[in-house]
Structure 1
Amino acid sequence: MPQHYARRLLASERTAEGNAHLGWMLAFVAGATNAGGFLAVQQYTSHMTGMVSAAADGLVLGRAQALATALGALLSFGAGAACTALLVHFGRRRRAHSVFALPLLLEAACLLLFGLLGAWLAGLRALFIPAAVAVLCFTMGLQNALITKVSRAEIRTTHVTGIVTDLGIELGRRLCGAGADAARLRLLGGLLLAFAVGGLAGAWAFKVMGYAATLPLAALLALLGGVPALDDLGRLRAR
C-alpha cells in the first residue's frame, strides 16, 4: 500500500473522498470478519441487534449460557467503541498523525488474537466460543466507532441495515422525480458491495485456511495504520 495513500485515508483533516475510501475498505474487513467468524462461532458479531434479541430470548426461556454470551457480546462491542473514543482523544491531545490509526492497529491485534485463540482453543468449545465472540465484538465495536468519528456519523461499516435503507430512500427520490444524490448513491452502493465481497472472501478464506484467514485482514489494517504511527515515532525521535 503506498505510504501517501495510507496517510490520506487516515489524515486528521478529513475529506469526503478519504472517508469513502476508508469506509469501503473497512466494510470489506467487517464483511469478511462477520462471515468468517460465523463459520467459527456460529454467531454474527458485527451488529448487536441480534444479540439484544438473543439476550431477551435467553432470559425468557431460562437459557443462562445464551443470555451470558449475548450480554458479554454487548459489553464487548460497547467496550470496543469506548476504547476507540479514548484512543482518538489521546491522539488528538498530542496532535498525533496517528489519531485514527491507533484503533486500526488495535483491531489488527484483535484479529490476530482471534486467529491464535482458534488455533489454541478450538477444541475447548465451551471456553473458546464465548472468548472468540467477545474478541470479535470488541473488534467490530472498535471499527464502528472509528468510522463514525471519522465521518461524523455519516458512514457505518459493520452492518448494512442503514445502508440498504438509505439506498432505498435515494432510489425512491429518483423514482418520484425529486432527484437522487449521485455521490451518496455511489458511497452507499460501494459500502454494500464491499461488505458483500468481504463476506464472500471471508467465508471462502475460512473454509480453505481456517483461522489463518484472519492474517491477511490483520496485515491490511496493520499496514494502513502503521504508516501514520511510524510518522509519529519519527517525530518523537527527531525531538
Structure 2
Amino acid sequence: MFKERTPRWVLMGAFLLTLGAGAVNAIGFLGVHHQGISHLTGTISLVSTRVAAANWEGAVAAGLIVGSFFFGSFLSAVIIRQNTLHMGRRYGVVLVMESALLFGAVYLFEGGTVAGAYLASMACGLQNAMATSYSGAVIRSTHMTGIVTDIGIACGHWVRGHPVDWFRMRLYGVLLGGFALGGVAGAAGYARIGYRTLVFPAVLSGVSGLGYATYKHWQRMKHRAGSAVQ
C-alpha cells in the first residue's frame, strides 16, 4: 500500500520544498524579467518565439535559464546517485547547495544582473531532481502540471467508480498546496522587499539541509553506539 510508504517526513519535506519553489517562481514572474524560473515549458516556448523573431540576445538569455535548470538537475544526480527517494541519501548537501545558489541569486538580482535568474533556475533544477520519484509516484516539486494532471485523472476515475489511490493524492495535494502558498508568500514579499524575498526560500532550504545532515549524523552515532554495546 502506498499509505505504508508515506511517512510524515516525506509529506513535510514535500511541503517545504514546494513552498520554497512557489516563492521563487512568483518572484521570477513579478521581477523585471517577468519570467518563470522553476519550470521550463514556457521558457522553452520563449526561446522559440525569440528565435522566430530573430531576437538572438533574448533567445540566449532564455536558453541559459533552460541550461541552468538542466545543469542543476545534472549536479543533483551526480551527488545523490539515486532515482528514488530514501532516507540516508545526500539530500543535505543538495539542499545546502540550493540555499547558496539562492543567496547568490539575491546578490546578483540586487545588483541588476540577469544572471540571478540563472542561479535561481539552477537551484530549482537541483531541487526538482532531488526527489524525482517516491513509491511509484512521480514527484515534481518545482512545477505543478503533472500534479494537477494526476489529480484530474484521479477525480475522473472516482466519478467513473474506479479505484483511486487517495494516499497518493494526499501527497499530490500537499505538493500543490505548498507551491500555491509559496507563491502567495513570494508575491507578498516581493511587493515589500523585492528580490530580497529570495532569502526566505534560501534560508528554508539551508536550514532543512543542515537539519537533515545533523539528523543523519545523530542516527549514525546512535547506530554505532548500539553496535558497540552489542
TM-score (norm 2): 0.83
Deviation at 1:86, TM superposition (A): 1.4
Partner of 2:228: none
Deviation at 1:74, TM superposition (A): 1.2
Greater percentage in helix: 1
Aligned Cα RMSD in Å? Answer: 2.5
Distance 1:187 1:153, change over 3 A: closer
Q: Following superposition of structure 1 onto structure 2, how do residues 56-205 of structure 1 map, counting pairs within 5 Å? A: 56-89=48-81, 97=88, 99-119=90-110, 121-122=111-112, 128-129=113-114, 131-148=115-132, 154-205=138-189
Matched, 1:50 2:42: yes
Identity, in percent, stands at 33
Q: 1:34 aligns with which of 16, 25, 28?
A: 25
* Distance across 1 between alignment mates of 2:138 and 2:209: 21
Q: May I ask how many residue pairs the two structures share in their alignment? A: 212
The answer to whether the 8 A contact 1:100-1:146 is kept is yes
Partner of 2:205: 221
The answer to whether the 8 A contact 2:25-2:37 is kept is yes
Deviation at 1:227, TM superposition (A): 2.6
* Distance across 2 between alignment mates of 1:139 and 1:154: 19
Partner of 1:8: none
- Greater alpha carbon shift after TM alignment, 208-217 vs 135-144: 208-217
- Greater alpha carbon shift after TM alignment, 226-235 vs 55-64: 226-235
Q: Following superposition of structure 1 onto structure 2, how do residues 10-25 of structure 1 map, counting pairs within 5 Å? A: 15-17=5-7, 18-25=9-16
SS at match of 2:138: coil
The answer to whether the 8 A contact 2:137-2:168 is kept is no
Residue type of the alignment partner of 1:142: L
Partner of 1:9: none
TM-score (norm 1): 0.80
Distance 1:193 1:50, change over 3 A: same
SS at match of 1:62: coil
Deviation at 1:21, TM superposition (A): 2.3
Deviation at 1:152, TM superposition (A): 6.3
* Distance across 2 between alignment mates of 1:226 and 1:97: 14
The answer to whether the 8 A contact 1:98-1:225 is kept is no
Deviation at 1:61, TM superposition (A): 1.3
* Distance across 1 between alignment mates of 2:157 and 2:88: 40
* Distance across 2 between alignment mates of 1:67 and 1:151: 38
The answer to whether the 8 A contact 1:35-1:199 is kept is yes
Partner of 2:192: 208
Distance 1:152 1:176, change over 3 A: closer
Structure 2 residue ranges without an equivalent (≥5): 225-230
